[in-house]
A and B are shown apart, each in its own frame.
Chain A
Amino acid sequence: MCETCGCGDPHNHPHEHGHDHGHAHGHPPPVRTLDVRKSALELNQRLADQNRGWFRAKGLKVFNLLSSPGSGKTTLLERTLRDVPCAAAIVGDLQTENDAVRLRASGAQAIQITTGATCHLDAHMVAHALEKLEASGLDKLFIENVGNLVCPASYDLGEDRRVVLLSVTEGEDKPLKYPVIFLHADLVLVTKCDLAAAVGFDREKALAAIRQTAPKAQILEVSAKTGAGLDAWYAWLAG
């Protein structure tokens, strides 16, 4: 039987069709392979590198904050922007200006990106937000990503450092469930530590999960509500 199309012909040979078959059938047309070798994120990477160049030119150190929704990114930034001078924020959500309004109450600049239905920030969105930023007098910029522990991990925004937040209310094994985002973290912040006892947070189990999935990351434990641990966070930002 013909291996290519199963037409019942008794011959079985490599198909070099320079000869007469004595029958008609539709072989797949010959194809050739073209090398491409192009990342699906190439455009984002190019724009992220442009953002990085812009940040360097303006003397800005940039932190990309990533976590699930509700782990305390905005509350931490409200406090941080009050305590750390010369800092501003870009904040991403699917809808509303709510977070930017909250952050502006600190007196700092805060620019809202509403992504519509998009589950992450990308370098292009950040580049447009930068058009609205008055960078003179600033030396730190926080980018609060869309609350999501999956998709934002894939998108370089041009940041210097990635900070992943894990709140004590989320479950100690969350890093094991969402390992990719933790692998790229420079710092993991355990947040809402004031609630640890109330929710029965198993600190050792959480720290072990973070160390396993984020082997390069420093770990700090903070409470934006009580202020516990914030000095170490501010020292890390300045480092």
Chain B
Amino acid sequence: MHELSLMTNLLDDAVSAANGGPVCALRVRVGPLSGVVVEALRFAFEALAPGTAAEGARLDIEETAPSFHCPRCGADYSTPVGSYECPSCGSPGGELRGGHELELISIEVPDHV
């Protein structure tokens, strides 16, 4: 449900980065620990983009996996959501390094050369 307000922020940032020009595409990185549902984010984009400089733009979503660093054995590892045990030493959960992102990575704008 909060995807609408988060997409509002992403669109505002995209429009402002385009500096008054049209936005052709947005690349957004979403981690599974961000608490955001990708389908809901896409729906929010379809609902909110019309009437903005990003109307008709493509939304590229890059999904990441939860990644951890194990403080006990030093391993860097990825896990599915909900099970964070270090596969090397069995430590119950390491330091979260990735998978919680929700960020606008880049936009595409017309290249006027």
Instruction: Report A's interface with B, CB cutoff 8 A.
Output: 29-43, 118-120, 150-151, 153-154, 176, 179-181, 183, 211-213, 215-216
Which chain B residue has the least Cβ–Cβ distance from A211?
Answer: B92
Residues of A within 8 A of B93 (CB): 215-216
With contact pairs A151-B1, A176-B82, A215-B92 given, residues A35 and B105 touching in the complex (Cβ less than 8 Å): yes
Q: At the interface, yes or no: B104 with Cβ under 8 Å from chain A? A: yes
Which chain B residue has the least Cβ–Cβ distance from A181?
Answer: B35
Min distance, Cβ A146 to any Cβ of chain B, angstroms:
11
Contact B35 A36 (CB under 8 A): no
Contact A29 B110 (CB under 8 A): yes
A179–B103 CA distance with the chains assembled, in angstroms? 21
A211–B102 CA distance with the chains assembled, in angstroms? 26
Given contacts A30-B111, A179-B81, A213-B84, 17 further A-B contacts (CB under 8 A): A29-B110, A29-B111, A31-B111, A32-B109, A32-B111, A33-B107, A36-B13, A37-B103, A40-B7, A40-B13, A40-B102, A40-B103, A41-B6, A151-B2, A176-B82, A212-B85, A215-B84
Contact A151 B35 (CB under 8 A): yes
Q: At the interface, yes or no: B106 with Cβ under 8 Å from chain A? A: yes
B10, B35, B108: the one within 8 Å of A153 (CB): B35
Chain A to chain B contacts (Cβ below 8 Å), 18 pairs: A31-B108, A32-B111, A33-B108, A34-B17, A34-B106, A36-B14, A36-B17, A37-B103, A37-B105, A39-B102, A40-B6, A40-B7, A40-B13, A43-B9, A118-B5, A150-B1, A179-B82, A213-B84
A33, A120, A176, A213: the one within 8 Å of B106 (CB): A33
Min distance, Cβ B66 to any Cβ of chain A, angstroms:
8
Residues of B within 8 A of A216 (CB): 93
Contact A154 B35 (CB under 8 A): yes
